[in-house]
Amino acid sequence: MTDLVIRPLTAGEEHLFHALADPDLVGRAAFGERYSVDEYRPEWTWIALRDGAVVARAAWWGRPDDNKPIALDWFDFTDPAAGTELLRAAPFHTEYELRLPSGWRDDPALRGEGQRRIDAAVAAGMSVLVERFRYRWTPDCGLPDRPGRLEFRPEPDDQVILDVLRRIGDGSLDAHTRQARAETDPVTAAQQELDLLRGLPSPREWWLLGYAPDGDLVGITVPARNPYDPIVGFVGVLPEHRGNGYAYDLLVECTHRLVAEGADRIVAATDQPNLPMAAAFARAGYPIEMERIDLL
């Protein structure tokens, strides 16, 4: 068999990325997205060729000012072994976000395409971190009524927010939070979360702390925007107030604030094992748009 040629694209070669004969059943293409040189750099886009034909492709994403990619967005192949070799050869080690239609395991074709990508990434040294639900709220879903149990106030001091995030991290059900705390420490993990939120292109003034009638701090909600959509940036309840359904109150307030800012859609996500947060999204009328598997 002819040896693989694995290399990044050069400027003007984006047609090679589209040359792969992929059925587009899973991944970003399954949701109407297209690879674009406006979003992905050629040096962060790699292909594997055999006899001049593209048999695997991968594209990593980063923000315009990043000096290295922060996420693997695209990973497709006609030859699983070539896909694995491509990931091994590329000098990037980031999280891989595999997008999948809701209920993908119930459809043999979808299950096959999804599992092939998972298996190829695992063979390259990655492992599954968590499975997630992604939601998309629109006005047709209905605006949930505010429960009225909490008072919401902005908090301009990042040090206060940092401490809130640190406290929320104790016993968190979020896999990324647990991973960050295992690799660093509670304060560093909270600072990483704060940095991510600060990097969103939406006003810092939108962030809100929620207080009980007795003045006790309950949690935080972060209405926000990413480069594409209005989003639920963060919802978190302090450990001493968990079990009272406050995630719902925080989510509803976030929804109302974004709608007041003109949002005609709101995108959000949570880990599938985080049953309280998933229940809050269901109660607030957020339908599941897709599933996601994050691998590291």
Tokens of 12: 């003007």
Mapping DSSP to helix (H, G, I), strand (E, B) and coil, where does residue 246 land?
helix
Q: For residue 124, is pLDDT > 80?
A: yes
Q: Which CATH class is domain 140-290?
A: alpha beta
Tens of pLDDT along 255-265?
A: 999 999 999 99
| Selection from 50, 249, 244 nearest residue 147 by Cα | 249
Tens of pLDDT along 132-171?
A: 999 999 999 999 999 999 999 999 999 999 999 999 999 9
Does the domain formed by 5-126 have CATH 1.10.3470?
no
**In this prediction, what percent of the chain has a pLDDT beyond 90?**
98
Side chain identity, residue 291 = E
**DSSP run (H or E) holding 27:** none
What does each C-alpha distance from 187 to 155, 165, 170, 178, 293 come to in angstroms? 19, 9, 11, 12, 27
**DSSP run (H or E) holding 54:** strand 53-61
One fold for 5-126 and 140-290: yes
Q: For residue 61, is pLDDT > 80?
A: yes
Mean pLDDT of 232-244: 98
Report the relative pairing of strands 208-211 and 53-61 from DSSP bridges. unpaired
Label residue 228 by pLDDT band (50, 70, 90). Answer: very high
Task: Please give the pLDDT value at position 1.
Answer: 53
Tens of pLDDT along 16-59?
A: 999 999 999 999 999 999 999 999 999 999 999 999 999 999 99
Tens of pLDDT along 181-216?
A: 999 999 999 999 999 999 999 999 999 999 999 999
- The DSSP letter of residue 227 is S
Record the pTM.
0.95
Task: Please give the pLDDT value at position 63.
Answer: 87
Which string of b and e fits 138-168 if b means at least 16 CB within 10 Å?
A: eeebeebeeeeebebeebeeeeebeebbbbb
Mean pLDDT of 113-121: 98
- The DSSP letter of residue 73 is E
Domain ranges in the chain are 5-126, 140-290
